[in-house]
Amino acid sequence: MAERIHVRGEGGQVIEMDLPLPEPIADRFTKGYLRRVNADGSPYTGTALTAEDGPPPESGGSALTNGVPPRPGKNASKATWVGWAVTVHGLEPDRAEDMTKGDLMELPDVPADPAAPGAGRGGKPGEDAPKGEWIAYVVSQGHLSADDAATLTKDDLIDLVK
């Protein structure tokens, strides 16, 4: 008998599913559109899924990463990077998916906003920081939406918060 899990769908409903997840659903799970939950809809805090099932978006990292899910490897798929950006930076899955893999890779290890999920460090990025870090900072300060910030140059973002 297949293991069964519960996931919260995009509409908020809790759905019981068999593992392994079908490929299209596993892709949406990896990207953060679907989240693993308990049967009652509360956040799942049990053991993680296996690698072939995909990472649980709400796993929370380890003591080695101060509770922040670790940054994916450079060779990780874009879907994995999208899931990481959704989990760590709190981006909407659609917004993260619209970003290029390079833009996702430029995001800092933790958000600039200390109140954001997984934040361990705060403060304004240095002028030599990647554009993704400046986007995260400008959004966390409430100056612009992530979509609007992504359309600006790094210099424009820096000027916006001076």
Q: Could you read off the pLDDT of 18-69 as tens digits, one per residue?
A: 999 999 999 999 888 888 888 888 888 765 444 444 544 444 544 444 556 7
Point out the domain boundary residue: 13, 39, 59.
59
Closest CA to 3 of 24, 23, 17: 17
Whether residues 39 and 116 share a domain: the answer is no
How many domains is the chain partitioned into structurally?
2
Highest-scoring range by mean pLDDT, 78-82, 92-96, 147-151: 78-82
State the first-to-last Cα distance of the chain, in angstroms, to the nearest integer.
59
Does residue 54 contact residue 26 with C-beta atoms inside 8 Å?
Answer: yes
> What is this structure's pTM?
0.54
Would you tell me how many other CB atoms lie within 10 Å of the CB of residue 119?
Answer: 21
Mean pLDDT of 79-85: 90
Q: Which domain holds residue 150?
A: 62-162
Whether residues 111 and 122 share a domain: the answer is yes
Q: Count of residues for the chain?
A: 162
Q: Classify residue 99 by its DSSP letter.
A: S
Mean pLDDT of 6-23: 89
Share of the chain above pLDDT 70, in %: 78
Whether residues 68 and 55 share a domain: the answer is no
Closest CA to 58 of 81, 90, 94, 97: 90
Does residue 14 contact residue 69 with C-beta atoms inside 8 Å?
Answer: no
Give the pLDDT of residue 90: 80
Angstrom distances, CA of residue 77 to CA of 80, 81, 160: 5, 7, 33
Would you tell me how many other CB atoms lie within 10 Å of the CB of residue 10?
Answer: 10
**Average per-residue pLDDT for the chain:** 77
Closest CA to 72 of 148, 89, 147, 45: 89
Whether residues 74 and 122 share a domain: the answer is yes
Whether residues 141 and 155 share a domain: the answer is yes
Which residues make Cβ contacts (< 8 Å) with residue 52, sequence separation at least 6?
A: 20
SS3 60: coil
Whether residues 148 and 85 share a domain: the answer is yes
Give the pLDDT of residue 23: 92
